[in-house]
Amino acid sequence: MITASLLIVAAYLLGSVSSAIIVCRLMGLPDPRTQGSNNPGATNVLRIGGKKAAAITLVGDSLKGLIPMMVGHLLGAGPAVLAGIGLAAFIGHLYPVFFGFRGGKGVATALGVQIGLFWPIGLSVAAIWLFVAKVLKISSLSALISMALAPVIVWIFWPDNVLIGMQLIITGLLFWRHRSNIRNLITGTEDRITR
């Protein structure tokens, strides 16, 4: 129980490390919370800093979900503890204690959690994201569609109710964080992928 609690707390703290803000500071770029969409995530970093900064941010945000899940597996954590770790890392990204609880929208960190849980789950979600992005060229829509399908993908590869529940919560929170994007999609004003 103590080990499980420590893993969950550590996952939240790692999730709270904002890759976007750190990358922008190190590369002399504006704070992503004050530019573009004001979101500290890879897509906004792409807008304000280009592909290199965005790629580093994407990897960093993904690792925040991947590393805690891998540690959980190495320590023999069961589905309930893995679900707690995954949720903690994801919520840490959304509401980071180190950055005034102003975090990103969670797509890359959620993907890291999914890859860490069971790599076919993560690769399936990533493939859907890439396909939708290639066809429709709208990052937020790609995220929403891939994460909407993620609970089904978890059910296919690892049909455990606790893990499916974890993914349903992640998907729900991700949709909530994308509510402004959803409004823009409805009105046809959402930004497209241009780089």
Whether 192 shows a pLDDT value over 90: the answer reads no
Q: Please check whether residue 113 is in contact with residue 69, taking contact to mean a CB–CB distance below 8 angstroms.
A: yes
The confidence score (pLDDT) of residue 25 equals 93
Q: How many CB atoms lie within 10 A of CB 187?
A: 8
The confidence score (pLDDT) of residue 195 equals 56
Q: Please write the tens of the pLDDT for every residue from 21-35.
A: 999 999 999 999 998
The confidence score (pLDDT) of residue 26 equals 94
Q: Please write the tens of the pLDDT for every residue from 35-93.
A: 888 889 888 898 899 899 999 999 999 999 999 999 999 999 999 999 999 999 999 99
Whether 141 shows a pLDDT value over 80: the answer reads yes
| Cα separation values, 170 from 36, 48, 174, Å | 25, 27, 6
High-pLDDT (> 90) share of the chain, % = 86
Q: Taking all residues of the chain, what is their mean pLDDT, rounded to a whole number?
A: 94
d(CA 12, CA 90): 7
pTM of the complete model beyond 0.95: no
d(CA 167, CA 169): 5
Of the pLDDT bands very low, low, confident and very high (cuts 50, 70, 90), residue 174 is: very high
Helical segments of 101-195, H only: 107-117, 119-136, 139-157, 161-177, 179-187
What tokens appear for 89 in the block? 């890392």
The confidence score (pLDDT) of residue 194 equals 65
Domains of the chain, by residue range, sit at 2-187
d(CA 84, CA 150): 17
